[in-house]
Amino acid sequence: MSGRAELATISGLITYRRYIVANALNEVRTRYAGTSLGIAWHIMYPLTIVFVLGAVLSGAFPTTNSRLGGVGASLSIACGLLPWLALSDALSRGTNSLVEHSLYLRKLSIPEEVYIAKSILASSIYCATLLLFLCVLVALSGHFHPIQLALLPVVAILLLMLAFGLSLALSPLNVLMRDVGQTLPLLLQLGMWLSPVLYPAELMPYGLAALQAVNPFSPFLAAIRSLMLDGMAPGIWTWFAMIGWAAGSCIIGAGILQKVRAELRDNL
């Protein structure tokens, strides 16, 4: 069943690839229609949070890299917060994609995974903007390395794959149980504080530190901080963990979607 589910998902994505791209771009244009700053509005919130928290917490904990000097706290927070915001946006949009497109699902025979992929692709614009902003912060701090531009997009793609796989599971469950969509913001908020997003991993209590082994975001956070704070490529086990979480979530998500697919349109 699992193999057939994966093939069905891949087949649907390939068949409707142009539809996915065109509608994702249209969603981005619609989202910022009528605004003078466009996507720059998405930068205002994280920019404010990063520098306010950096100023407040700069004396509360040591930076993860002493070479970063006075900007260390803000940059360390940015390396955790910006990828987390990207994942949260993609996961929120992906989880609600089937409910939001219920009218189309009732009338068209387009596979469900197409709408999920469209939402994730639209969110990838936001993800790219945040990570580009992170690169600018690193460059301004005087600690830019070419390896960051080379490997950061790969980490970003794996992060979006993780969001897509989780959305394949959560979006159909949200159709069958609408509490899923209502609970997700709370879980994301808890996840941010249970992960070393706003503070260095070495300051985590032992119990929380032990949980990072089963935290799917942890290897991505470690990879981004290794690239951006240290200018070093992530270790081999970090790559294995990121690929494993991304691929595993897609496989499990495709299986869950295939299992409940027949019930979805009757519940919309």
Q: Where does residue 159 rank: exposed (0-12), middle (13-18), buried (19+ CB within 10 A)?
A: buried
pLDDT given at position 67: 46
Q: Which pLDDT belongs to residue 95? A: 95
Name the residue range of residue 159's domain. Answer: 2-267
Q: What is the pLDDT of residue 217?
A: 93
Instruction: Provide the CA 188 distance to its chain's centre, in angstroms.
Output: 11
Residue among 174, 159, 5, 169 at smallest CA distance from 83? 159
Q: What number is the average pLDDT over the span 98-113? A: 88
Report residue 144's pLDDT band, with 50, 70 and 90 as the boundaries: confident
Average pLDDT over residues 170-176: 94
Number of domains composing the chain: 1
Please state the three-class secondary structure of the chain as a single string. Answer: CHHHHHHHHHHHHHHCHHHHHHHHHHHHHHHCCCCCCHHHHHHHHHHHHHHHHHHHHCCCCCCCCHHHHHHHHHHHHHHHHHHHHHHHHHHHHHHCHHHHCHHHHHHCCCCHHHHHHHHHHHHHHHHHHHHHHHHHHHHHCCCCCHHHHHHHHHHHHHHHHHHHHHHHHHHHHHHHCCHHHHHHHHHHHHHHHHCCCCCCHHHCCHHHHHHHHHCCCHHHHHHHHHHHHHCCCCCHHHHHHHHHHHHHHHHHHHHHHHHHHHHHHHHC
Within 10 angstroms of residue 20's Cβ, the number of other Cβ atoms is: 24
The length of the chain, given as a count of residues: 268
Query: Tokens representing 17?
Result: 């690839």
Amino acid 139: pLDDT:
83
pTM of the model: 0.88
Torsion sign, CA atoms 127, 129, 130, 134: positive
pLDDT exceeds 70 at position 41: no
111 has a pLDDT exceeding 80: yes
Question: What is the pLDDT at residue 72?
Answer: 65
pLDDT reported for residue 66? 45
For 124-133, the pLDDT digits (tens) are: 988 888 888 8
Q: Is the pLDDT of residue 160 over 90?
A: yes
- Judged by average pLDDT, the poorest of 2-11, 89-98, 255-264 is 2-11
Count the Cβ atoms, other than its own, within 10 Å of residue 255.
18
Instruction: Decide if pLDDT at 68 tops 50.
Output: no
